[in-house]
Structure 1
């Protein structure tokens, strides 16, 4: 749990499956971490390490990307942006201890300093979030400087704030009167509904990028040069070797579906292991929603169930993007 504020309490907001999202929420992103890269070789070094095109990343833009091993299996999925004197790399806290040493492994040959940041990570979410960012940061673009930090637009209703403790307290004081305070389960719900994946410690080195739809989220460049795992990622595109994709499902659950939970699929009158939960959210009315990696050739109308709760039926829902688009 985050300890940057001694006076604010960030709890899960009780939402049903049909409850509108809060018009403005301040979210404590304590389950997330930030890596910073500072130095003249930071961009060129990352270009040879990750799936996205770092060289073409404009100062007012951010991008999703993946860091893979030599076999193309993902160590993490991250969001990259220009941050103060270098780059900011936003990812799940659970992979920091294993992924960060791998990212730094070859940096000894480059002029770049890579380290875990002590910045406070907050989210502003809701239909009023962009108007609040205009008050806090001003300017234009999807990445804007803040006093001792950066604001990064995630989607039409969300901004990520990476700031020092003093600025975090100042922002909290400004928005506390009009914003609901939430833990980062609300951020999870936004990610799930928008089909944005993540890698946790339990799914590290299990999937190639296309298995989690990164080609549909502009997180893979097929035109840049070589990077770690590039051969596998390219082969999955050009030879069609990838047999999995990530889908959005809903169903009943007494507990929040966790990363790594097993979803079973119906095959005639029997049930077989169908997929792996990437992220889940449990509503207060007994319904749940999850991103799940499944075979990409399932028959339409296939039903599913959580292996741990076999009495409930889950159904596939449409993703907010197409998996047929060319990347």
Structure 2
């Protein structure tokens, strides 16, 4: 189905940049889907993810994390349930690594894990008219962030952001027909970088190959995004995550920032501050996306004491200064 979808997109107008206030349409196949099926699927995921899988229903998705035994994040996923299948969505580059990791814990559980990226196409819609555009197509904007509505084989998840924003999942006939209707309504097809920018502006982090095992969940504010349950019981890495929450002191956390530079920031790029008390970099870039030429929005995990010192935080030891936002990032 992915090849069929890519062939379809070649018949459409090429993606472009747009006015950030315009209604925009996105191809989201740069995300992958891992399907978890079987009689023990829910129990299995409850023992592997940071969030409480019991809260996932036909009308509610959730953010969650998958950790190593040392509490380091291998992936930050969105979990949704369609019929009897749980889907874990994450950047496609991390899907095989996550699948391999989880298979180590299946043992005798009645669970199957497989790449389901070709089962459901994913597109995004963002803009002030999102609710009206969905209604004109027979779809409903969910009432709350992470909530999910369905109409037949098409599923709509509301996402965080200043403007209404949704992800839509479905099979090729349904999604291609929906795409054509939205295109006819003058919704512009734009680049994946613009979706990445919307996630950054909403404080939604992703884990990439470069940043796998670089962070514990609280460093990327997963607890503020309702991505951790501290009451669910044991899961892989839980002891480290719980200790950080109840006993330890969080020394690094994620901030939103902007930077002006000729070199595009990349995930895992080091940041430095002269006030740092550590013997290593003061932090790392989580994600970055262009706002305009030479200007980038960034999510970065930075040493809290360094930020509070007021000293400049730089991209690289002698690089451009990051302008940090001090507002709490909670995915609102």
Q: Structure 1 321/226 Cα, relative in aligned 2: closer, same or farther at 3 Å? A: same
1:157 maps to what in 2?
164
- Correspondence for 2:122: 121
Match of 2:226 in 1: 218
CA positional deviation for 1:8 = 2.3
- Secondary structure (helix, strand or coil) at the match of 1:122 reads strand
Which residue of 296, 310, 328 maps to 1:301?
A: 310
Match for residue 183 of structure 1?
A: 191
Where does 1:27-176 land on structure 2 (aligned, <5 Å)?
A: 27-117=26-116, 118=118, 119-139=120-140, 141=142, 142-155=147-160, 157-176=164-183
- Report if the CA contact (8 A) 1:257-1:282 is conserved: no
* Residues 50, 67 of structure 1: 8 Å contact kept: yes
Does the CA-based 8 Å contact 2:270-2:282 persist in structure 1? Answer: yes
TM-score (norm 1): 0.88
Give, in angstroms, the shift of residue 213 of structure 1.
Answer: 0.6
- State the SS of the aligned residue for 2:311: coil
Report SS of the residue matched to 2:253: strand
Please tell me whether the aligned partners of residues 10 and 28 of structure 1 are also in contact (alpha carbons under 8 angstroms).
Answer: no
Q: Shift of residue 114 of structure 1? A: 2.1
Q: What is the CA–CA distance in structure 2 between the aligned matches of 1:226 and 1:7, rounded to whole Å?
A: 49
Unaligned runs of at least 5 residues, structure 1: 15-19
Indicate conservation of the 8 Å contact 1:148/1:163, yes or no: yes
Cα deviation for residue 293 of structure 1 reads 0.8
Equivalent position of 2:321 in the other structure: 313
If the length of structure 2 is used for normalisation, what is the TM-score?
A: 0.87
Residue 3, structure 1, aligned to residue 6, structure 2:
yes
Counterpart of 1:258 in structure 2 is 266
Q: Distance in 1 between matches of 2:105 and 2:275?
A: 47
Alpha-carbon RMSD: 2.5
Report the Cα offset of residue 275 of structure 1.
Answer: 1.6
The answer to whether the Cα contact below 8 Å between 1:38 and 1:85 also exists between their aligned partners in 2 is yes
CA deviations over 1:255-275 (Å, ceiling 9, x no partner) = 33111112222449xxx8322
Using the TM superposition, give the Cα deviation of residue 38 of structure 1 relative to its aligned residue in structure 2, in angstroms.
Answer: 2.6
Q: How much does 1:160 deviate? A: 1.1
> 1:300 deviation in Å?
4.4
Deviations 1:18-69 (CA, angstroms, capped at 9, x unpaired): xx52431110113211112233322121111100010122321111100011
1:100 counterpart SS class? helix
- TM superposition shift of 1:219: 0.5
CA contact 1:194–1:319 (8 Å) conserved in 2: no
> Compared with structure 1, are the counterparts of its residues 134 and 320 closer, same or farther at alpha carbon in structure 2 (3 Å cutoff)?
farther
Residues 1:214 and 1:133: Cα distance change in structure 2 (over 3 Å): same
**More strand by proportion, 1 or 2?**
1
Cα displacement (A) at 1:237: 0.5
Number of aligned positions between the proteins = 315
Distance 1:45 1:213 in 2: 25
**How far apart are residue 77 of structure 1 and its match?**
0.2
Choose 33-42 or 132-141, whichever is displaced more. Answer: 132-141
SS of match in other structure, 1:109: coil
- Asked whether the 8 Å contact 1:82–1:143 carries over to 2, the reply is no
1:211-290 map, 5 Å: 211-267=219-275, 273-290=281-298
CA distance in 2, matches of 1:288, 1:107: 41
| Contact 1:120/1:162 (<8 A) preserved | yes
